Amino acid sequence: MPTYEYRCDSCGYDFEAVQGFSDEPLTVCPKCGSPVRKMFSSVGVVFKGSGFYSTDSHQTSHGSTQTSKAAPPPKPTTEPAAEPSTA
């Protein structure tokens, strides 16, 4: 179950409450009885396992690894142009 943070509007008391998703939010400060409001903060996210990062390699059906890098473009040839014949 998630833990929610609350702050009292009157006395500034901060507290946490473990509640289910369907539970009603708290409305009264346990310290002074004044109204409270739910605080929102950023949530840390951790991705575990393979496949979440661009540096991960992917398994092929033969068991070898294959990276997602594209093949480099072909290099232009540097052969000299043929001179027109004067025949």
Domain ranges of the chain: 3-39
Mean pLDDT of the chain: 78
> Under a CB-based contact definition with an 8 Å cutoff, are residues 6 and 36 in contact?
yes
pTM, full prediction: 0.48
Q: Which DSSP state fits 7?
A: E
Confidence of residue 22 (pLDDT cuts 50, 70, 90): very high
- Give 37's pLDDT tier (boundaries 50, 70, 90): very high
